[in-house]
């Protein structure tokens, strides 16, 4: 048996026939308890000649002049400012739930001009705003860049990773907290990370068994409403108990996911195949050009010429036919495909053909 030539990732949704219980905190999140996106704009200084080319990024010069004006320094009109060590950047971060003023968060800094590298740069103080336009954090600090860029005098160049973006751990200080509905109302809503009717039912059953009938009610496949105390301190204790409940999650829908760009194929454990027969083979046509030189005879008056000569060979690799019985499991599918040594494109074609024939009992998703 030849080794399989493709990358096949087996995404086993369950490790055995009996589903394993999971903590409620891993299955669901509390409605209203979420992070919020922040964005900002600023300048990175201290670069080693790898900043923006100001002739092509006039907004960098404008931002720099505005900053100097705040310190009482006015750049002469028409002055030729060359800022090789300065780069205009965008700043973004996620503001975690319950973040309070004075706490710090990590930020990501990315060049928006034509700076070659941000390595060694420092971000000057820049406000970070939310979608409502309010300032929620102030960013500043030294960048950590994971890539580098080097260029020789003859134009040769090497780049590792992305040197035009970096991070600043604890680079922003929270200035405003986001209101949360955590302590409002007499109930909380748990939103399932993966909506599933079976999982929602199991959550309701587990909570009601622990706290009494009617405490939890399923809204739909993705949400469960739970009664909660009004006092914030009691509510924290209450949720501490709930989030550690062991709940048996429902099995996921059978899926086969194909990444046509990388040749990666993910097959879920619940995938089944109805009775079908599949044959796999390949036809290879090879055309080679072997021109010859035609030399005329002596005193014939002819001219030497190059005569084309083509050679065409066709070979077909014989592959056996394999049969899928009723209710064929994931392991049997993998074993059968490995026996014929299918390439990624061949396996994709087999799966698509099974889906078209109605023999593949799973959702086929191509990305």
Task: Give residue 39's pLDDT.
Answer: 96
Highest mean pLDDT among 53-67, 91-105, 263-277, 326-340: 91-105
d(CA 235, CA 66): 49
Task: Give residue 312's pLDDT.
Answer: 62
pLDDT tens digit string along 302-340?
777 766 666 666 565 555 555 666 666 656 666 666 666
| 241 has a pLDDT exceeding 80 | yes
C-alpha angle with apex 84: 81 to 85, nearest 5 degrees?
A: 115
> Helix/strand/coil (H, E, C) string of 218-237?
EEECCEEEEECCCCHHHHHH
73 compared with 81, residue with greater pLDDT:
73
Instruction: Work out the average pLDDT over 111-133.
Output: 92
| 281 has a pLDDT exceeding 70 | no
216-220/246-248 β-pairing = unpaired
Highest mean pLDDT among 1-15, 285-299, 314-328: 285-299
Q: Please list the residues that pair with 149 across neighbouring strands.
A: 159
Delimit the domains of the chain by residue range.
20-33+182-248, 36-174, 255-297+304-366
Highest mean pLDDT among 36-50, 147-161, 294-308, 309-323: 36-50
> For a pLDDT cut of 70, what percent of the chain falls above it?
68
Instruction: Work out the average pLDDT over 186-201.
Output: 91
Residue 16 neighbours by CB under 8 Å, 6+ apart? none
| 1 has a pLDDT exceeding 70 | no
Q: What H or E segment, with its residue span, contains residue 313?
A: strand 310-317
Task: Give residue 137's pLDDT.
Answer: 96
40: pLDDT confidence band, cut at 50, 70 and 90? Answer: very high
Dihedral class, residue 358 (left if φ above 0, else alpha if ψ from -120 to 50, else beta): left
282-289/292-294 β-pairing = unpaired
- Give the C-alpha distances (Å, rounded to integers) separating 58 from 80, 124, 164, 316: 11, 19, 19, 62
Burial profile 69-91: b = 16 or more Cβ within 10 angstroms, e = fewer: eeeeeeeeeeeeeebebbbbbeb
Instruction: Work out the average pLDDT over 155-167.
Output: 75
255-259/363-366 β-pairing = parallel
What is the dotted CATH code of the domain comprising 20-33+182-248? Answer: 3.30.1360.40
**Composition of the chain by helix, strand, coil, percent to 5:** 20, 40, 45
148: pLDDT confidence band, cut at 50, 70 and 90? Answer: low
Alpha helices by DSSP H, the chain: 24-27, 58-70, 197-211, 232-242, 330-340, 344-356
Q: What is the mean pLDDT of the chain?
A: 78
Average the pLDDT over each of 76-90, 115-129, 237-251, 268-282 and give the range with the smallest value: 268-282
14: pLDDT confidence band, cut at 50, 70 and 90? Answer: very low
């Amino acid at each position: 048996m030849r080794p399989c030539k493709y990358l096949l990732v087996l995404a086993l949704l369950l490790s055995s026939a009996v589903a394993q219980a999971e903590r409620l905190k891993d299955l669901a999140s509390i409605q209203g308890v979420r992070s919020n996106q922040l964005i900002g704009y600023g300048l990175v200084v201290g670069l080693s000649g790898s900043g923006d080319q100001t002739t092509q990024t006039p907004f960098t010069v404008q931002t720099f002049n505005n900053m100097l004006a705040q310190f009482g320094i006015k750049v002469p009109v028409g002055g030729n400012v060359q800022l090789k060590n300065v780069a205009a950047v965008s700043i973004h971060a996620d503001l975690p739930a319950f973040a309070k003023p004075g706490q710090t968060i990590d930020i990501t800094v990315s060049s928006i001009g034509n700076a070659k590298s941000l390595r060694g740069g420092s971000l000057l103080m820049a406000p970070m705003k939310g979608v409502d336009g309010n300032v929620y954090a102030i960013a500043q600090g030294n960048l950590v860049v994971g890539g580098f860029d080097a260029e020789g005098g003859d134009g040769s160049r090497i780049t590792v990773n992305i040197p035009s973006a970096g991070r600043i751990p604890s680079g922003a200080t929270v200035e405003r907290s986001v209101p949360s509905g955590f302590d409002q109302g007499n109930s909380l809503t748990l939103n399932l990370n993966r909506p599933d009717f079976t999982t929602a039912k199991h959550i309701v059953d587990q909570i009601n068994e622990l706290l009494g009938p009617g405490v939890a009610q399923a809204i739909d496949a993705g949400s469960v409403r739970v009664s909660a105390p009004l006092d914030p301190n009691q509510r924290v204790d209450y949720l501490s108990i709930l989030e550690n409940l062991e709940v048996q999650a429902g099995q996921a829908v059978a899926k086969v996911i194909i990444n046509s760009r990388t040749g990666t194929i993910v097959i879920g454990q619940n995938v089944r195949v109805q009775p079908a027969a599949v044959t796999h083979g390949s036809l290879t046509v090879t055309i080679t050009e072997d021109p010859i030189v035609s030399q005329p005879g002596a005193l014939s008056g002819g001219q030497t010429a190059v005569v084309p000569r083509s050679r065409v060979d066709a070979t077909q690799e014989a592959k056996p036919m394999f049969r899928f019985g009723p209710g064929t499991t994931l392991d049997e599918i993998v074993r059968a495909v490995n026996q014929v040594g299918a390439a990624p494109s061949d396996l994709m074609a087999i799966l698509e053909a099974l889906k078209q024939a109605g023999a593949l009992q799973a959702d086929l998703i191509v990305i």
